[in-house]
Structure formats: structure tokens, C-alpha cells
Amino acid sequence: MNIVVVLKQTFDTEEKIVIQNGQISEDGVEFIINPYDEYAVEEAIKLKEEHGGEVTVISIGPDRAESALRTALAMGADKAVLVDDESLFGDEFTVAKVLAAVAKKVGFDIIIGGQMAVDSGAGQGGPRLAEELGINHVSTAVKLEVDGTNVRVERDVEGDLEVVETSLPVLITAQQGLNEPRYPSLPGIMKAKKKPLDRLGADDLGITADEAKAKTEIVDQTLPPKKQAGRILSGELAAQTSELVQLLRNEAKVI
């Protein structure tokens, strides 16, 4: 079974966001595997252990993204691909185009990714990639079973469960609860240094920057305003209700 994991390197969730000149500063920031993508890596390794095959992890990003791929290799993935061509960096549209080209190049039976990246929260990566490849996809998986070419997925639907049955090839996005990602062992870390990691660019993938050109552009970024102190209303309930409506309409301007 050819298992592909798509992952993104993101800020450590404990990092403080600093914006300079409308851009998020990366000075001194620690980067990690996107937490939802860790579930994807773990699930891919479990599938390999159960069914055999090979796990390939793919990422798009600058040189620093290699550390995230090496961590996935230390966890148990077999090989990695990094698209470090800046002409192919962009929005979710660009990412889907590029990842689809890589997936076709390496081959796949099942693709697994996180249900969203914690930095953007867009949740578009998986569905867009599946659409580019013309395969089925199931999102927010909390349980995954593969039997031959048959796939059974339990997915989180706002606190309840939905069961979806489909067949390979398929793309799955992982939700918290799918598994408990393992820590890389010392032997795994040593082996990861020798595992293959290919770097690909536009020429290798047979796509041009124009074909993958982003559809959106970030023109500015700002931190949310500081939270203001709350206000406690007093008096009879009817008077409080009337005052609250007036405040929401005239001051907060939300109604």
C-alpha cells in the first residue's frame, strides 16, 4: 500500500504572534509539525504496520520545513519530499495544485492529512487536493479501517459520529482523537538521518508558477484589539434587557 501524508510546518502553538509591517515575524520562533498532521503521520504508520507498504511524507516550504519531515521520518515514515521552490509557494489553491503534482509523481493508494492547519484554520487543503486528484475524501476522521480496497471511516460531526464507507484511492483528513502520535525514538531519529528526502521544484513536477498562481493575496494583518473590561448591568430585569439591547445596537453595533 502506498500511503502519502501531506503535512505543514507551523508555529509552535505556545509561540506569541508578533506582527511587523503587516507581516508575521518569524524571528526566534520555534516551528513544529502542524498538530493535526501529527495524527495523519501516526495513522499512516499504523496502516503500514498493519497492511505493509510505504509511507511518504510531503511538504511545501522553505529549508526549515525539512526538520518537520525529518521528525515524521523518525516517527516511522519511509521517505520524504520537500517542495522548496519559492515560485510554488502560495494559498490553498496553489498548495493543492502542487501537492497533486507530487502525489501523482510518487503514487498513492491513500492520502492522509490534518483536518486543518492551526495557523490558517482554513480546512481547505484536503478537499482541494482530493478535487485536484479526482478522488473521494472523508474529513475529520476519528477512526479509520482499511480492508482490502474497502475503507470505513468514523468522522466527528460536532460532537456526534457519522460512519462513511468508501474505497481506495481516497483522501482522509484527521481529527483529534484518531490516535495518539508516538514520540520519535533515539534509533528512529538516527535512522531518519539516512532516509531519503527529495527536493522538488517546478521543473521536476512539470508545472509552472502561472498554473499554480495563488488566487488570493494577503494585503495586511493585524492583531485583534485588546479585550475590554465587561460591564455589569443593574436594576430590574426589564430595564436591564432594554439597556442591553440599546448597548448592542448603539455601542457594540452588532444588531
Q: Are 95 and 205 in contact (CB under 8 A)?
A: no
Q: Which helix (H) or strand (E) holds 197?
A: strand 197-200
Averaged pLDDT score across all residues of the chain? 93
pLDDT digits (tens, 9 = 90+) for 65-120: 999 999 999 999 999 999 999 999 999 999 999 999 999 999 999 999 999 999 88
Q: What is the pTM of this model?
A: 0.86
pLDDT digits (tens, 9 = 90+) for 151-196: 999 999 988 999 999 999 999 999 999 999 999 999 999 999 999 9
Least confident among 46-50, 98-102, 155-159, 203-207: 155-159
Name the percent of the chain lying above pLDDT 70: 100
Burial annotation 160-193 (CB, 10 A radius, 16+ → b, else e) = eeeebebebbbbbbbbeebbebeebeeebeeebe
| Contacts for 163 with CB less than 8 Å, ≥ 6 apart | 152, 153, 154, 155
Instruction: Give the pLDDT confidence score for residue 251 in this predicted structure.
Output: 84
User: DSSP assignment, residue 227?
Assistant: P
For domain 2-205, give the CATH superfamily: HUPs (3.40.50.620)
In the structure grid, which three cell numbers stand for residue 37, read together?
498532521
Name the percent of the chain lying above pLDDT 90: 75
Residue intervals of the chain classified under CATH 3.40.50.620 are 2-205
Band (pLDDT 50/70/90 cuts) for residue 228 is: confident
Strand partners, 78: none
